[in-house]
Chain A
Amino acid sequence: MRMRDVSLLVLVIGLLCFMPNGSWAKDVRGVTDTEIKIACLVDLSGPGKYGGPPIADAGRDYVAWVNDTGGINGRKINLIVEDNGILPSTTMIAAKKVIFKDEIFAIAMNLGSAGSSSILPLCEENQVVLMPHGANKKFYDPGNKWVFVPHTVQYSMASRAVEYILEKNSKARMGIIYQDDGFGKEGLEGARAAAKFMGSSLVKAAPYKTGTIDFSPHMNAMREAKVDFILLWTYLPQSASIIKQKVTMGWDVELISNNTTGVPPLFAIIGESADGYMLVTPFAPGWMDLPGINRIKKITKKYGNYEKTLGNPAYPDYLYLAGWAYIEACVQGLRLAGRDLTPDSFVKALESINDFDMGGLCPNITFGPERHVSSFSSLILRANGQKKRFEIIDPIREPKTPQK
């Protein structure tokens, strides 16, 4: 092959790039006369494996109920649950499959914030509404036309936690142990902002690499700084390890953590030592007698597997309820969009949701043209080691620290 041939080839290929691009579909992708396809990307196999199945269960139960009670404006929902393995690369594979192969209309839930960030350009390009879990502030600030977050973000929750502590005791010395990635850093920022707002500051901040479970240096550093309260922006294994460390050290420090660690498996791992452990979370515990939760239980009993899910005390109920809130927000938007369902009409419909009543299960959902996050409020729970469950000690409230 001579240079001349090679350059000719390159020229031809280059010209072909300029070929006009035909439109792929005249109809709206994912919507037919009788059904709407939506996808739920959760981790069923990888590191976030304990998070995926409850959310998938919630999605399936809710969709079964909707389809059984007339569907949405005459269309049934076809829910596709896809494993995204939580990592960005596998999430990308899953997203490509559901958008290009299954041709879904919207992604009602994607577990994992790094994965959500990585598929955002893809969703933008193909006009797919994305609702990321693992809520981070940047999903709504600056935000994106296609991204909606029906969840309180980490920043707001951290602010709320710090405010709660400082309200009760304005001289409390607070430290924070946070995961050394976007999730943890956002907790750090929220906590710092709230502390500053309340006229105080965080005494010590100790990051840890994702996956670490040896916290002796961090706890030692906290003890040396004479900290009274430690804010834990961690995942479940780390929280359990820290509680273990606290007992080993014989140190009576109070711990308050974020929503991902507030699940019954915590008791399975460390038993009664979890007593007194506090949490900030947008979702009320599943055993409580609230209208929103009772409604969910009724639906699950009829359409799902109640004994295995909400009826099971060892079940991570927080995740089920979170999944429920996501799919409910999504379906509400679909309802309001009416019969003429397109990506743009869906976005407008979502933005018109105002104070949608969740019955005390979590803060009511409000979206708006400038506001793609559902709420800033959360509540504070405390773990009861004997009864092996969490109890509400401070109801749903917004943090006073400015959230923008």
Chain B
Amino acid sequence: MEKIIEILFNGLSMGAIYALLALGFVLIFKSTGVLNFAHGELAMFGAFICYTFAMLFNVPYVIAFLIALVLGAILGGVIDTLFFRKMLGEPLFTTIMISVGLASILTSTAGMIWGHDVYSIVSPFTQKTLSVGELVLSQGSMYTIAASIILFILFLIFFNRSLLGISMRGAAEDPDTAGLMGINVKKIHMIAWALGTVVAAVAGMFLAEQSFVRLAMSHIGIKAMAAAILGGMESIGGAIIGGAIIGIVEGFAANYLSGMELGNFYFGDIKDVAAFAIMIIVLMIRPHGIFGKEKVERV
């Protein structure tokens, strides 16, 4: 029984990270209509910035965290201005390809600045654990889950109640009409990107706390997309729940299915494939996810 709780807990902590990333992803999508393939790379950048300040400049962790958030927001705004502003009216394919290209650029820039090594961030709750009965839970994971829940509630309120949130949703649905209504669509897009990058940076730093800071971190971006698809690309709540589900399913799959052999085919490490399998199943059965609405297309 303890084992299941432990798997659940670990799965939730990874799931929280996925959910955060999916949240940022859906945020950008809802506000600008852009599928951000470079989201994992943004998270990586956030983690690297935090690493630079915390470890290389010896700034206390909390301040490095905040600096990373601020710089992340600036980065998001810059990306929007440089790359996506021109693409306001362009077809979907173009924007997708730009974000794919952006992902490569970010990775190689990070490689040039920080190198391909593996780095560690020392945070106040590195290596500390909490023992509950027979379970050993890592403090870092607990903070991740707690912080994520707080952020989710904040965002839900933001999107449904605040003026800025509602104008973002409006701009996403129909930029032209929103512009006619007096909403500054360009500013909204920039804010959306900044917010999305901030959330990604948070996710990146949490991930760094659980493992290490290195270039390959960006691969997690693809799982974030799977989580967003599962939950529904239009729904913030869906992204959160999607992330949690993928984290938990991955945990269970890794524990019970790994190392299986099926005939000539050796299953190896199932963890990564679990996310993709879920994504494919969702795309087959219900492309708009659990909470999404089906889009009506007109001729």
Contact = CB atoms under 8 A, between A and B. Distances in A.
A244 B116 contact: no
A241 B211 contact: yes
A217 B271 contact: yes
Contact of A217 (B116, B211, B214, B251): B251
Contacts of B215: 47
Interface in A209-244: 209, 211-214, 216-218, 220-221, 224, 236-237, 240-241, 244
A395 B3 CA distance: 41
B268 A180 contact: yes
B259 interface: yes
Contact of B3 (A206, A212, A213, A224): A224
Nearest to B217: A213
A42 to B, nearest CB: 13
A217 B248 CA distance: 12
B132 to A, nearest CB: 13
Interface residues of A, number: 34
B187 interface: no
A177 B214 CA distance: 21
Contacts of A240: 118, 120, 212
Interface string A43-63: 001111110000000000000
A70 interface: no
A206 B117 contact: no
Nearest to B128: A248
B212 A269 contact: yes
A265 interface: yes
Interface string B105-130: 00000010001111110000001010
Interface string B259-295: 1000000001101100000000000000000000000
B81 interface: no
Interface residues of B, number: 32
A265 B258 contact: no
Contact of A206 (B111, B115, B214, B258): B258
A303 interface: no
B118 A236 contact: yes
A249 interface: yes
B117 A270 contact: no
A261 to B, nearest CB: 11
A270 B212 CA distance: 11
Given A207-B269, A220-B6, A265 B117 contact: yes
Most chain A beta-carbon contacts within 10 A, residue among B119, B212, B214: B212
Given A50-B116, A269-B118, A213 B129 contact: no
Contacts, number: 77
A122 interface: no
B255 A217 contact: yes
A208 interface: yes
Contact of B254 (A50, A180, A217): A217
Most chain B beta-carbon contacts within 10 A, residue among A46, A214, A269: A214
Contact of B136 (A218, A244, A248): A248
A244 B117 contact: no
A10 interface: no
A213 B14 CA distance: 12
B52 interface: no
A393 interface: no
B37 to A, nearest CB: 18
B113 to A, nearest CB: 13
Contacts of B268: 180, 207, 209
B129 A250 contact: yes
A247 interface: yes
B219 interface: yes
Given A237-B118, A240-B118, A209 B272 contact: yes
B137 to A, nearest CB: 9
B210 interface: yes
B219 A211 contact: yes
A220 B138 contact: no
A224 B2 CA distance: 12
A213 B251 CA distance: 14
B10 interface: yes
A358 interface: no
Given A49-B115, A220-B3, A213 B211 contact: yes
Most chain B beta-carbon contacts within 10 A, residue among A213, A244, A248: A248
B92 interface: no
A330 B212 CA distance: 38
B150 to A, nearest CB: 24
Contact of B269 (A45, A180, A241): A180
B66 interface: no
B138 A237 contact: no
A211 B216 contact: yes
B127 A216 contact: no
A46 to B, nearest CB: 7
B269 A250 contact: no
Contacts of A224: 3
A205 interface: yes
B269 A244 contact: no
B133 to A, nearest CB: 14
Contact of B116 (A49, A208, A249): A49
Nearest to A213: B211
Given A180-B268, A240-B118, A241-B212, 7 more contacts: A207-B269, A209-B269, A220-B3, A237-B214, A247-B127, A250-B136, A269-B120
30 contacts: A48-B116, A50-B117, A180-B268, A205-B259, A207-B258, A207-B259, A209-B269, A209-B271, A209-B272, A211-B216, A211-B219, A212-B272, A213-B211, A214-B211, A217-B10, A217-B251, A217-B271, A220-B6, A220-B7, A237-B118, A240-B118, A240-B120, A241-B211, A241-B212, A248-B136, A249-B136, A250-B129, A265-B117, A269-B118, A270-B120
Interface of A: 45-50, 180, 205-209, 211-214, 216-218, 220-221, 224, 236-237, 240-241, 244, 247-250, 265, 269-270
The 3 closest A-B pairs by CB, nearest first: A217-B254, A49-B116, A209-B269
